[in-house]
Amino acid sequence: MPIKIQNDLPARAILETENIFIMDENRAVSQDIRPLQIVILNLMPIKEETETQLLRSLSNTPIQLDITFLHMSTHESTHTSVSHLNKFYVTFDAIREQKFDGMIITGAPVEQMEFEEVDYWPELAKIMEWGKTHVTSTVHICWGAQAGLYYHYGIQKHEMEKKLFGVYDHRVLDRTVPLVRGFDDVFRAPHSRYTYVRKEDIAACPELIILAESDEAGVFLVQSRDGRHIFVMGHPEYDRVTLDGEYRRDRGKGMDTAVPVNYYPEDDPEERPLLTWRMHANALYTNWINFYVYQVTPYIL
């Protein structure tokens, strides 16, 4: 899929080495089609890494995407430079009058705080409310999924006894739903979190459908019945070495973080991690773009 982004976005060079088609503005204008407008609210600390991961995940359909990166104006980023944010990101005030075909709300390392304690929660709540009338379909990832379930449906998150960390097997529960089209009966996905949402709380909400779960990691994939909201409890967009980086970072801080489950060969951190989830990650985002955005969104936003 041709992804339209700014020419000098750092992720561009990485994606081009992987033969992912990145379209410049001149070529995009020459095509007599309307690209899908996708806004990515990037709440992750190291934004460049998340940019690359999500753009890679969105690169597998022939539909042209025009990407807008959004950051919080009420939060000061300490891991991404101001110059990067000023050059490649916009704030909510700059887009509040626009409409988008799709939105992605990423995770954030704030899950052990109450939602209302997060400094940018009021702004995030405004964006989620705005999305009801200005976005065709929204994907919420990890903490973003917990925040979305809490804001839209009043479903609370709960603390786990220890960090859920690794790559886990999941089962598809209803393969008639287009979001999991092409999935195997069992598929893998990475998780890295301290909190979870109870299955019974989600099942008690008639507006929601649980599409996939894991015996070890719990509920993984949920959608609203109208397809306007998708909730992904893990990180299918993660690169091969993302969990490795988190593991070494935690150990470097003196934390007693366990080796990620089902990740290193023979559970040996000196071995190259196994990449076992990319195919289903690509299928998830391709199905979202095709069935929940492209086939539903109006031509004139």
Binding residue positions for substrate: 163, 192, 249
Binding residue numbers: 163, 192, 249
| Catalytic (active site) residue 237 | yes
| Catalytic (active site) residue 25 | no
Catalytic residue among 142, 152, 213, 246: 142
| Catalytic (active site) residue 117 | no
Catalytic residue among 48, 111, 213, 237: 237
The token duo for 94 is 């700059």
Catalytic residues: 142, 235, 237
